[in-house]
Copies of this chain bind each other. A is one copy, B any other.
Amino acid sequence: MSIIKKGSVTIKDIAQELNISTSTVSRALADNPLVKPATKAAVKELAKKYHYQPNFTALSLRSNKTNTIGIIIPQIVHEFFALVIRGIEDYAYSQGYNVIICSSHESYEREVLDAKALLSGRVDGLLACISRDTNDLAHFIEFKERGIPIVFFDRTSDISETSKVEIDDYNAAYQAVKHLIDIGRKSIAYVGGSKNLNINKDRLAGYSKALSEAGLKTQKDWIVHCEAEDFESGKESTTDLIKKNEIDGLFASTDMLAVGAIKNMKAQGLQIPKDIAVVGFSNWSISSLYEPSISTVDQPGYEMGLKASEILIRHINNPDEKNESVILQTELIIRESSTLV
């Protein structure tokens, strides 16, 4: 029986028990050929017996590497973001990295707090998707100043000279609205999320482009912006729109907004897609489960995560790596809400 340690077993404990130095133990565990086979065996046996696990903190301090990457993301209860996270994790794990996820809950203050927490040398790199409320990017710039690489994904910023991985929101929206036009709709409204985000500006631009290209006009009150992108907003923000009875098509920048809108329309006795055809965005599971099933734009979330972490880890391993900007394409999925019967 040996002495029971309260905390974890360290290299020093093993060294003491075998009457050798910590250096030798360290080398033995690293399979260094300098160590005599017999010593090596003894060390390894004891390490196994005591479930020795190198102290992560000590290792990090010595090597100045944490083998951890940080993720700052606005929400995690979000099918798209969750997919991104999964992609990030899968690649990161395969490269021996761990992951710290911080959810900013769409709050600028929380995002700054999270950034500060990650700045103190806890992570070797950062993957960030800015919150709805974020305008000032100073907290991210500090990372660059300390030589901690950042890759932005999905929601990026014009200012930052960093690598980014984005969705081609402009084209995705363009295709979605073009599809509505192709099935004969002429008065198409837009319901979108926060104007603050580039992705929404791009989606709106794609919408406008499709209309103008087809020689169609929109009206000022056919374009609605909601801060929250939830079901309730979709419902409330479309009430006026529906009352006027002017539109025959709707492009929503989020599936949840689409569901809210459709529910509202159905309540007013409108038929979907006969009276109004609807296309959403993101391909959340509800879009296929809802009745009618909702046409939408599928975003490659998993690929986005994979790509973002791949670029980040490349930056970590090679500080001189030049910035890279990736734009991923989407796929329009046509379902009942925009199919003529």
Contact = CB atoms under 8 A, between A and B. Distances in A.
Interface stretch (A15-23, A95-103, A149-157): A95-103
Q: How many copies does the complex hold?
A: 2
Interface string A129-153: 0000000000000100111000000
A319 to B, nearest CB: 9
A240 B55 CA distance: 55
A341 interface: no
A122 interface: yes
A57 B57 CA distance: 6
Interface residues of A, number: 50
Contacts of A142: 51
A215 interface: no
A146 B77 contact: no
A327 to B, nearest CB: 25
A339 interface: no
A7 interface: yes
Interface of A: 6-8, 51, 53-58, 60-61, 64, 66, 76-79, 82-83, 85-86, 89, 93, 98-103, 105, 113, 116-117, 119-122, 142, 145-147, 231, 259, 263, 285-286, 289-291
